[in-house]
Amino acid sequence: MSGWDRFKPSRSRLGRNPTNMDQRTVPRTVTLGRVQPQAPSHRTIYCNDRDANLVLRFKGNSISTTKYNFFSFLPKGLYEQFRRVANLYFLMVSILSATPYSPVHPITNVVPLSLVLLVSLIKEAFEDWKRLQNDMTINNTLVDVLQDPRWECIPWKRLQVGDIVRVKQDGFFPADLLLLASTNPDGICYVETANLDGETNLKIRKALERTWDYLTSEKAFEFKGEVQCEQPNNSLYTFTGNLVMENQTLPLSPNQLLLRGCSLKNTEYIVGAVIFTGHETKVMMNSMNVPSKRSTLERKLDKLILALFCTLFSMCLIGAIGSGVFINKKYYFLGLDKGVEDQFNPNNRFLVALLTMLTLLTLYSTIIPISLYVSIEMIKFIQSTQFINKDINMYHAETNTPALARTSNLNEELGQVEYIFSDKTGTLTRNLMEFFKCSIGGEMYGTGSTETERGIAEQNGIKLQEQKLTNAVHEKGFNFVDERLMRGAWRNEVNADACKEFFRCLAICHTVLPEGDESPEKIKYQAASPDEAALVIAAKNFGFFFYRRTPTAIFVRESHVERMGKVQDVSYEILNVLEFNSTRKRQSVVCRYPDGRLVLYCKGADTVIFERLTVGNDNLRKVTREHLEKFGASGLRTLCLAYRDLVPDVYESWNEKFIHAKSSLRDREKKLDEVAELIEKDLILIGATAIEDKLQEGVPNCIETLSRAGIKIWVLTGDKIETAINIAYACNLMNNEMKQFIISSETDAIREVEERGSQVEIARFIKEEVKNKLKKCIDEAQQYFHNVSGPKSALVIDGKCLMYALDPSLRAMLLTLSLNCASVVCCRVSPLQKAQVTSLVKKGARKITLSIGDGANDVSMIQAAHIGVGISGLEGMQAVMASDFAIAQFRFLKDLLLVHGRWSYLRICKVVMYFFYKNLTFTLTQFWFTFYTGFSGQRFYDDWFQSLFNVIFTSFPVIVLGLFEKDVSASLSKRYPELYKEGIRNAFFKWRVVATWAFFAVYQSLVFYHFVTTSSYAAESSSGKMFGLWDVSTMTFTCVVVTVNLRLLMMCNSITRWHYIGVGGSIVAWFLFIFLYSGLMTKHDRQENIYWVIYILMSTAYFYVALLLIPVAALLVDFIYQGVQRWFFPYDYQIVQEIHGHEPDDSRTDLLEIENNLTPEEARSYALSQLPRELSKHTGFAFDSPGYESFFASQRGIFAPHKAWDVAKRASMRSKPKIRQSWLKFSDRINMGSGNGRRPYCFSLWSTGAQTKQYDGSTTATSPPKQAGKSLAAIFFKKEIS
């Protein structure tokens, strides 16, 4: 074990001086998705030589993702807690309470602060302990390492840079490795990167030919090489380096790099050298936290806390001024003549006021709710982990993917979203590509109809006839119908040679890996993208079956090429692969035919291919462009195919430049792109492919529902403008009723300027064109903006125009136009432009934004929005790793926003308001007492009462409120999406709402103080003694605890057993505490005056009468206010409650079907039985609006006896126009007819319907599905307007 368990003194290898090596620089960490190049330096690694690497001090392979360690936990944890203003404030108050000027014991403020800090630190410790356990499991995983020509198992954490390791099939790579050898032929291995980016398709990695032999331990022990490579960085898909061995320099690329966390598949084992370890591996450098985001409500909460600070300061200032005025020697009985403390010295009134200010600051400190933040954190955490993550309605069974809340900070933000920015591919669509149509040599093939075409036809009232072919070939990835190309029929086409080149390009120009048996029925393809797999599957069905790949060749089984029915296996030598990236937007392969022909096949976006076509054949170019436009109008994804025959001399000259660029350590990617430009020119157009990406299930319905909720949806995509528009039609984002504003760079004027080639002139002209178009659109749109009943508008803009529209001089015009459009579609946009558009609305309009996407190109957009949602799709997990919430399908947004988002917003608002109310109420009773003590700072309550009020006696019920409050059920939340608009308007956290709660806090505090103090004058104990200060304060505190807990029940819309346990338990906890506290006394007890107080109080009738009447008097005004508000000024959700509050949870039976089998009398009785009752089963209402039975009966056309309350109800409806608006603003006005000078407003409250009779005498027919299973009855509210 020499050289392993302990290291010998370092020795220099022949020809090397390790001390002169380039020292490693610590790379700057960046957030995921924002890859930045490292400094232009490199590191040198000596393979299989630990001693030589020791002097370079490379990092070890042990990782730690914990936030704290044993020594830093307490100081760092406390620092994190005291970064909060509220905690810092209470620390200051606790220090002040230890001074002689404090009227309260330090324990009054120290105890609640300590409890809050303790809970927060325990939570932090628990989360960090989980991270530590995970780290220990990973660090202790075993791996085979070469040591003294044999393999030894050691933990991952003991690996060092330069070690030679062996990884077996299905094993994970312990570090970033340089692939040396593989058991597969030609040094190939297959890698799954699911843990890295979520992609389950296998990637191929190939060792350098010079290292293929180092497979056994004996041969690997002989390997001595020097790796010169880039510094550690977080770019997952790039790697530059050279392997120097035996005086030969071999270029290294990402094809030889195996990243930590990936797993080995379909390979017995591989041998590799460790390049990067531990926190320097690429996956660890990408594991940055998502940028910290604070919800809008939390920022508004800071303003509320600031308002409380101002209130506290005002109260203290009043008390300080009062103290300075009150203090006087004439009050001889106070003994203020001589030897008095500075705080009560009449000779220095300013000092008296100043010291009283400090005294009152500690006395009134409870006005700031210390447990507010920790309670909200706890509520949000449970909401995320127990409600969102476990919602069965957001679980995708096909992929076994539940919803995932990656942060709990933004739960309530989900209830206020006004703008959604969505990617298209993989987000609105399935990202399951099917080859659907094509264009070859100017001829279009494919007869099917896409979902988009069928959707547009239905909107235009046209029914498309699907062509059914019994012998049509259909498999996953191939949905092509046209007999002219199938089964060798293409040989009979006029453009047969073009067809042959087309099919060969599909079969050769790709990076797909075949798996399984080499037969068309059993083979499986592993592709980097679904598009590429669909193209290879298409080639197979056309008779060009790709079945095998080696590092240097592709094997294709070609049918019907020389003659019908003949099948031959052809090997094409792959000389170079110019890979696809987002900048190039194309992929090329240079191959050699068996007969020696050199061909470059290229496929890519139409814009880049057309730029590189050879001069001539304009007719083919024009016809293909027309076909591309038709494909785009059908919602299809298009690619252009082209080829070029190469001359050997030209190719050899180019290949030397290519090899030189590939060996470069600096700017390798840039140099490769420049070299590719030299050969990807003078191309001959073959044709174009059209692939259908079907819409995800439920997308149109989800978008329609979200639109009704007041949410505006923008689609930001890289697709062609025609494709994006038609997808928008298919998913109900746009319709023929809308006025469309299209700003496109595809105009004759812009093309003419672009052909001149002057970049400065092009930029100036396009900017001016965009400016003129924006002005024209805004002028034209004015009539639509101000006409509520007019048609909605939609904006469509492409990336080139958007680039100029985002210029600071035009940004305001773009924002004005887009904010007034119901839908916005941005086409041909880059990832940066997606983020810029999102930031434009977020910062410019100050609206709550949500971005949703599924790919790496959506990361910047996701991080730029208030809320980022990632979709676990086929494009990897980069979007999920950067998101705040993750879902499997776009349609789950409906549950995430309309249910969980709205509930969370409502709950957090109520929690904050309740905290504000109860603390203000409690503190004000102390404030009123100050007026009767000469502003001396005498405390009204015992220290322990003040300490435990927030953390014990009122803490649990507010947690229950934040977890279980529910105004309407989940189904009703989605059935009435208009309810969501209350969150957008921030209806429950306005200053008006705060002022209302403040009014009730002032009123109740006055009731508590004056009712108790006044009534106690005449009260006396069983021994005949009058009640003293501590008797009165204990009685007051009891009334406060009982009242604020009961007030919580009044604000609940639904009450569960947890509410009763929480409220009842808090009240019982108070009595248990006071029984023990006043029943015990020690010699060190400061508050001996509390001794036996509760027993004396409870021995009198006064206690029970006061405990009954004072809470009733305090809550009476709240009760009346809730009733008046609910009856005359109801919120939208209260209207829905009244409609559905009497319905059982299960679906009601079909009324129409039942009534058809009843006699008229039975039907009337049954109808009356279905009407709402006066006594609501929906708990938590202040009181039910009476007379609803006869009111609803009359609206349904059913005779029922009138009640007295009906008259008042109807009179109030006629006399209050706001009532009409509040009931109708929520409705869908399905009919606006005119007759006899009146216009009835009708509102159907059931989503399904039948032919129903309206009460203006007309009828409306609807056609619901017969199997809907929902109630088909319709209620109509109408209000006649002259």
pLDDT digits (tens, 9 = 90+) for 14-51: 333 333 333 333 333 333 333 333 344 688 999 988 88
| 423 is an active site residue | yes
Per-residue pLDDT for 162 more than 50? yes
Q: pLDDT tens, 672-689? A: 888 999 999 999 999 999
Query: Which pLDDT score, from 0 to 100, does residue 475 have?
Result: 82
Share of the chain above pLDDT 90, in %: 29
DSSP 367-418: GS-TTHHHHHHHHHHHIIIIIITT-GGG-BTTTTB--EES-STTTGGGGS--
| Under 8 Å between Cβ of 301 and 912 | yes
Catalytic residue among 423, 943, 1118, 1184: 423
Query: Which pLDDT score, from 0 to 100, does residue 536 have?
Result: 94
The CA dihedral of 956, 958, 960, 963, to the nearest 10 degrees, is -130
Identify the band that residue 1084 occupies on the pLDDT scale cut at 50, 70 and 90. low
Q: Which residues contact 861 (CB under 8 A, 6 or more apart)?
A: 421, 423, 716, 831, 834, 835, 837, 838, 851, 853, 868
The residue-averaged pLDDT of 254-264 equals: 89
Please choose, from the candidates 1278, 1281, 1280, the residue with its C-alpha nearest in 3D space to the C-alpha of residue 1197. 1278
Query: Which pLDDT score, from 0 to 100, does residue 1183 have?
Result: 33
Identify the band that residue 1193 occupies on the pLDDT scale cut at 50, 70 and 90. very low
The residue-averaged pLDDT of 420-449 equals: 87
Distance from C-alpha of 923 to C-alpha of 907, rounded to nearest angstrom: 24
Sign of the dihedral defined by the CA atoms of residues 7, 11, 17, 20, in that order: positive
Amino acid occupying residue 419:
Y
Identify the band that residue 909 occupies on the pLDDT scale cut at 50, 70 and 90. very high
Per-residue pLDDT for 537 more than 80? yes
Output the six-digit token pair for 808. Answer: 């600071």
Identify the band that residue 332 occupies on the pLDDT scale cut at 50, 70 and 90. low
What are the beta bridge partners of residue 274?
Answer: 177
Q: pLDDT tens, 965-974? A: 998 889 999 9
Angle ∠(444,693,558) on CA atoms, nearest 5: 55
Amino acid occupying residue 410:
L
| Under 8 Å between Cβ of 840 and 808 | no
Judged by average pLDDT, the poorest of 25-34, 245-254, 656-665, 1126-1135 is 25-34
Query: Which pLDDT score, from 0 to 100, does residue 1195 have?
Result: 41
Distance from C-alpha of 598 to C-alpha of 573, rounded to nearest angstrom: 10
Would you call 276 helix, strand, or coil by DSSP?
strand
Amino acid occupying residue 299:
R
Q: Which helix (H) or strand (E) holds 939?
A: none
Please choose, from the candidates 471, 873, 493, 533, the residue with its C-alpha nearest in 3D space to the C-alpha of residue 689. 533
User: 10 Å Cβ neighbour count for 499?
Assistant: 24
Distance from C-alpha of 1259 to C-alpha of 1257, rounded to nearest angstrom: 7
Please choose, from the candidates 1180, 956, 911, the residue with its C-alpha nearest in 3D space to the C-alpha of residue 1064. 956
Tell me whether residue 1107 is exposed, middle or buried, using C-beta atoms within 10 angstroms of its C-beta: 0 to 12, 13 to 18, 19 or more. middle
| Under 8 Å between Cβ of 329 and 336 | yes
E-assigned strands of 916-1027? Answer: none
Which 8-state DSSP code applies to residue 1007?
I
Average pLDDT over all residues of the chain: 79
Helix, strand, coil percentages for the chain (3-state, nearest 5): 45, 15, 35
Q: pLDDT tens, 289-316? A: 545 577 888 888 888 888 888 999 999 9
Q: What Å distances lie between residue 370 and 108, 144, 959, CA to CA?
A: 12, 54, 14
Query: Which pLDDT score, from 0 to 100, does residue 1115 have?
Result: 95
Query: Which pLDDT score, from 0 to 100, does residue 466 have?
Result: 57
Distance from C-alpha of 174 to C-alpha of 164, rounded to nearest angstrom: 12
Query: Which pLDDT score, from 0 to 100, does residue 1238 have?
Result: 34
pTM, rounded to two decimals: 0.70
| Under 8 Å between Cβ of 552 and 590 | no
Query: Which pLDDT score, from 0 to 100, does residue 735 have?
Result: 76
Query: Which pLDDT score, from 0 to 100, does residue 473 have?
Result: 65
Per-residue pLDDT for 363 more than 50? yes
Would you call 719 helix, strand, or coil by DSSP?
coil
User: 10 Å Cβ neighbour count for 1092?
Assistant: 14
DSSP 858-919: GHHHHHHSSEEEEE-BTTBSHHHHT-SEEESSGGGHIIIIIIIIHHHHHHHHHHHHHHHHHH
| Under 8 Å between Cβ of 717 and 829 | yes
Please choose, from the candidates 433, 582, 454, the residue with its C-alpha nearest in 3D space to the C-alpha of residue 512. 433
Query: Which pLDDT score, from 0 to 100, does residue 41 have?
Result: 67
Q: Which residues contact 763 (CB under 8 A, 6 or more apart)?
A: 804
Q: Which helix (H) or strand (E) holds 796?
A: strand 793-798
Q: What Å distances lie between residue 1210 and 574, 1190, 1191, 1223, CA to CA?
A: 85, 11, 9, 13
Amino acid occupying residue 26:
V
Q: pLDDT tens, 997-1020? A: 999 999 999 999 999 999 888 777
Query: Which pLDDT score, from 0 to 100, does residue 879 have?
Result: 76
Tell me whether residue 871 is exposed, middle or buried, using C-beta atoms within 10 angstroms of its C-beta: 0 to 12, 13 to 18, 19 or more. buried
Q: pLDDT tens, 112-132? A: 788 888 888 887 888 788 878
- What are φ and ψ of residue 772, in 5° steps? -65, -40
Query: Which pLDDT score, from 0 to 100, does residue 459 have?
Result: 59
The residue-averaged pLDDT of 643-667 equals: 87
Query: Which pLDDT score, from 0 to 100, does residue 902 have?
Result: 93
935: left (phi over 0), alpha (psi -120 to 50) or beta: left
Sign of the dihedral defined by the CA atoms of residues 478, 481, 486, 492, in that order: negative
| Under 8 Å between Cβ of 896 and 405 | no
Please choose, from the candidates 588, 556, 551, the residue with its C-alpha nearest in 3D space to the C-alpha of residue 572. 556
Identify the band that residue 1157 occupies on the pLDDT scale cut at 50, 70 and 90. very low
The residue-averaged pLDDT of 971-999 equals: 92
Please choose, from the candidates 949, 54, 823, 1017, the residue with its C-alpha nearest in 3D space to the C-alpha of residue 428. 823
Per-residue pLDDT for 1158 more than 60? no
E-assigned strands of 1171-1240? Answer: none
Identify the band that residue 464 occupies on the pLDDT scale cut at 50, 70 and 90. low
Query: Which pLDDT score, from 0 to 100, does residue 1218 have?
Result: 38
Distance from C-alpha of 570 to C-alpha of 430, rounded to nearest angstrom: 35
Identify the band that residue 396 occupies on the pLDDT scale cut at 50, 70 and 90. confident
Judged by average pLDDT, the poorest of 381-390, 687-696, 1223-1232 is 1223-1232
The residue-averaged pLDDT of 405-411 equals: 84
Rg of the chain taking only CA atoms, in angstroms:
38
The residue-averaged pLDDT of 1203-1231 equals: 37
Q: pLDDT tens, 628-642? A: 988 887 878 889 999
DSSP 94-105: HHHHTSTT-SS-
Distance from C-alpha of 509 to C-alpha of 579, rounded to nearest angstrom: 10
User: 10 Å Cβ neighbour count for 768?
Assistant: 11
Output the six-digit token pair for 862. Answer: 């996701």
Please choose, from the candidates 669, 471, 673, the residue with its C-alpha nearest in 3D space to the C-alpha of residue 584. 673
The 10 Å CB-count burial string (b at 16+, else e) for 1214-1225 is eeeeebbebbbe
3-state SS string for 482-498? CCCCHHHHHHHCCCHHH
Query: Which pLDDT score, from 0 to 100, does residue 1199 have?
Result: 46
What are the beta bridge partners of residue 47?
Answer: none
Judged by average pLDDT, the poorest of 86-95, 351-360, 478-487 is 86-95
Query: What own/partner pairs with CB < 8 Å and gap ≥ 24 does 931-934 have?
Result: 931/322, 934/322, 934/323, 934/326, 934/327, 934/331
Q: What Å distances lie between residue 1274 and 167, 1069, 1166, 1195, 1266, CA to CA?
A: 68, 50, 16, 10, 16
Distance from C-alpha of 233 to C-alpha of 259, rounded to nearest angstrom: 12
Q: Which helix (H) or strand (E) holds 960?
A: helix 956-964
Distance from C-alpha of 1123 to C-alpha of 1050, rounded to nearest angstrom: 11
Per-residue pLDDT for 1171 more than 50? no
